[in-house]
Copies of this chain bind each other. A is one copy, B any other.
Amino acid sequence: MTAPRNQAQEARTGPALPDTQQGMRRRNLARVMHTVSSEGPLSRAAVASHIGLTRAAVSTLVDELTRAGLLDELGPERPGRVGRPGSALAVSAHGPAGIGAEVGVDHLAACVVDLRGQVRARAVRYGGNRGRSPGPVVEQLTGLVRRVVAEAEREGLWAAGLAVAVPGLVARDARTVVRAPNLDWHDADLGALLPVGVPLTVDNEANFGALAELWLGDGMPPDFLHVSAEIGIGAGVVVDGRLLRGTRGFAGELGHVPVFPDGPECACGGRGCLEQYAGEEAVLRAAGLAAGEGRVDLLAERAEAGDRDARRALHDAGTALGIALTGAVNLLDPQTVVLGGALAGLAPWLLPPLRDELTRRTAGPACPVSVSALGPRGPLLGAAHSVVRAVLDDPMAVAERP
């Protein structure tokens, strides 16, 4: 590899903030948490060597985190080492936890993930939400959240925040669902509807799916495109390990990229959008199936059994996905594309035509496409983990909360 470009060269000079000792301390506390989280259990000396600070400096930081209940001492290490025996450190399994929740078109779900990344409680409720108004849906979701939080509290955990995945466009305020066509929601302020006393973040399910892939996927690179579908098709664009959100928070609308510009009309106002060829309803219709719960599984079964309509529908969907992704790959040059959500289960039939298009339409080697191991669990896990990451990123902000 050659030397990377100087990224700072391109940074804007926004409002110039001073570097303060206080800011440095907070960043170093975060480094300790992230290091113990990803590499632990570790001794203080090992933490110091990982982050390049003196052992004395690290001890001060560790003491602060231990007092706040964010790090656990696992007891003395085995003897036989040189010097004073150190105590191995791990992030706490009994402190703050992330609460994830999901509004699906056909289900609701909630879960609790502790600082170690373990799912400690989970609840799901099946039933269609299309056309229901936000109030009653959020009320049911709140019931699920309360249930998993109560379960977690019995194990000594407490909710550090709640993140909700929704199948729609979310404003950058991270609480207002601007448009969720498959629920028929418009400008729904979930912040006002969710009576929770913890920090709340609402985000698009494709975004949380992409973040789950970034944080939990096996060896994911820092630049990738995560394509997922529940009913609509969305993408999460990850660049340098960060999600690209766009000015209004609406980036990643792969489902409305024109594929055949003179094709059928789309609810977005366009024509021939990807969703008209590879969206769940379009694919089911092309395969001769009515829309509804469990129909994607049925479609997969039929394709598996060799049903020609099912296979043709999936082939055409894969072709459309390949054309739209050719455009996306040309614009973004990601290291890889990952198919997640419901698309993961249909990958055996979508991938061959999709890869054909990408290869045919690319001068050099085509961008590799893989399938998410998280599949439909991605958005809910991504939501809960986003809260956990926020704790690791600024541990004292949580510790200082009343």
Q: Which residues of A contact B (CB under 8 A)?
A: 2-14, 16-19, 24, 27-28, 30-31, 34-35, 38, 50-53, 171-174, 179, 201, 211, 214, 221-223, 235, 237, 239-254, 256-261, 267-271, 323-324, 326-328, 330-335, 360-363, 386, 389-390, 393-394
Contacts and interface: CB of A to CB of B under 8 A. Distances in A.
Given A171-B2, A257-B326, A13 B34 contact: yes
A4 B172 contact: yes
A59 B131 CA distance: 64
19 contacts: A3-B173, A4-B172, A5-B174, A5-B245, A12-B222, A16-B35, A18-B53, A24-B24, A237-B332, A239-B244, A244-B244, A245-B333, A247-B334, A253-B330, A254-B330, A256-B326, A258-B327, A261-B323, A271-B361
Contacts of A6: 390, 393-394
Contacts of A4: 172
Given A256-B330, A326-B258, A333-B245, A28 B35 contact: no
Contacts of A18: 28, 31, 51-53
A214 B9 CA distance: 12
A22 to B, nearest CB: 11
Copies in the complex: 2
A56 to B, nearest CB: 13
B8 A393 contact: yes
A328 B244 CA distance: 13
Contacts of A246: 223, 332-334
Contacts of A5: 172, 174, 201, 245
Contacts of A258: 259, 323, 326-327, 361
